[in-house]
Structure 1
């Protein structure tokens, strides 16, 4: 079965726009669970632009689903992760000025630092995932430093589809397929995510080595029109059809 992790960051974005207690990310997590989500993803950014420390506290205390805690490779985030010991930590690149995560980690260029950074997380029982591009050197470096999972960045593929640049999109999709094959051959579990929609999910879901998709912004946006429960169930349906 291909798993779906629902990212609830942008429920918090809406809440923070007005400084009110609502909408509550924890309520969104519970709806996602009832709709068939296999996990919840939340990214605690350095600038706390959406998810807050209190959100992570609430999710760890009240969530039945596994929490995938996205974070930058900073001492502050490492300490928060070690205090909570979530099911999984996904290390992502982070720039304060970016609108959203723009690419994958440079694992190959920071191999020693990242190996040292993830070791205590792994020892604490967290499943360590690295958010990377499909480049073979990044995948091989991820395996060398002891990550359990790589999450392949699908943002470029989704952007090319939106822009109608179909030849480039197809080339990017093929590179993602080859990256998934390589990662799987090295013993890494393969996840994927970023920018996926109803229109772009099927070709990614059809890649057999991919075990989990993490999707957030589109589901929260679609929920304005169909409700979060309906948006998640429809995404699950499309994922299952593509995998079948």
Structure 2
């Protein structure tokens, strides 16, 4: 079964829009776990425009499944991860002003840098994952960093899915096979939704985890959070 980690950034965005603590991010994470999700993902950025660094500390105390912290490994982010010690850290090469993640790492060009960061996290027992494009070469090069997993950046799949599902998923299948060949675990995320996730899950082998936030929260506005969590779990099991 592929595990579902829910990214709660959008809940934090809504909270920050009015100040105060409504909606309560920590309570929302608790509810998401009760509804069946197997993990909580957060992506704090330096300007704290949605997830704040304190949120990471608070969630560490309350998440009972798995806490995954995503982000660019700048010094402040590294310090936060080492302080909180989440179950997993996902390294994403996004610029400070990026609206959302828009590319994976070049694991050949940045391999030594990534290895140094990953060594720090692995000494603390934190599982590591590298955000990469669906390129078998990038996946194979990730092995030399010592990472436990890669997370495939799925925006290109989501964009092309409506026109040609088979062509859209083919690069991800090849990347998944490359990951299995070099002994790296496989995650995926970005723009996956209820329309495209079942096909992705059925066609991409060895998929351990998906991280979904924006689409899941948007769909929940119409369908309800508990129902949406259940629908994702159903699609991931079929």
Residue matched to 2:213: 216
Q: Which residue of 2 aligns with 1:186?
A: 182
Correspondence list, 1:160-239, <5 A: 160-161=160-161, 164=162, 166-167=163-164, 170-206=166-202, 207-239=204-236
CA-to-partner distance for each residue in 1:90-137, whole Å, 9 max, x for gaps?
A: 001112332211111222111111111111101110001001111122
- Extract unaligned runs of 5+ from structure 2: none
- C-alpha distance in 1 between matches for 2:107 and 2:144: 10
SS at match of 1:195: coil
SS state of the match for residue 233, structure 1? helix
Verify the 8 A CA contact 2:91 2:129 in the aligned structure 1: yes
- Given that 2:92 and 2:105 are in contact with CA atoms closer than 8 Å, whether structure 1 keeps it comes out as yes
1:40 matched residue in structure 2: 40
More displaced 10-residue stretch of structure 1: 7-16 or 105-114: 105-114
In structure 1, the residue matched to 2:118 is 118
Instruction: Check conservation: 2:105, 2:130, Cα contact below 8 A.
Output: yes
- The answer to whether the 8 Å contact 2:87/2:126 transfers is yes
Who is 1:97 aligned against?
97
Taking only aligned residues, the RMSD between alpha carbons, in angstroms, comes to 1.3
* CA positional deviation for 1:239: 1.8
Residue correspondences, number? 237
Q: Secondary structure at the match of 1:69?
A: strand
Query: Once the 2 structures are TM-superposed, how far is the Cα of residue 160 of structure 1 from its aligned partner?
Result: 2.2
Q: TM-score, normalised by structure 2?
A: 0.95
State yes or no: 1:145 paired with 2:142. Answer: no
Q: Secondary structure at the match of 2:109?
A: helix
Aligned structure 1 segments of 4 or more residues deviating by more than 6 angstroms: none
Unaligned 5+ residue runs, structure 1? none
TM-score (norm 1): 0.93
